[in-house]
Amino acid sequence: MSTTEYTVTGMTCGHCEMSVREEVSEVPGVQDVQVSHETGRLTVDGSDDVNQDAVIAAVEEAGYSAVRA
């Protein structure tokens, strides 16, 4: 299992967090998602083969921007 952190921009509330969490949790191999609009931090736990580009695309699908921290 691996943990990867991202910086997400554009989140302003708990609803934003929920949107990101829902989209990222659908990425194959993702087992746990922690997200905070206050810090802009997204932490993804999952298998070693989680596609980083897919995680970023999922954040973008939720309407925000992300980069690997």
Domains in the chain: how many in total? 1
Here the CATH number for the domain that contains residue 59 is 3.30.70.100
- Neighbouring-strand partners of residue 67: 7
pLDDT value of position 64: 98
pLDDT band at 50 (very low <50, low <70, confident <90, very high): very high
Q: Which domain holds residue 35?
A: 2-68
**pLDDT score, position 63:** 98
Q: What is the pLDDT of residues 2-44, one digit of tens each?
A: 999 999 999 999 999 999 999 999 999 999 999 999 999 999 9
- 3-state SS of the chain is CEEEEEEEECCCCHHHHHHHHHHHHCCCCEEEEEEECCCCEEEEEECCCCCHHHHHHHHHHCCCEEEEC
Which pLDDT score, from 0 to 100, does residue 16 have?
98
pLDDT value at position 4? Answer: 97
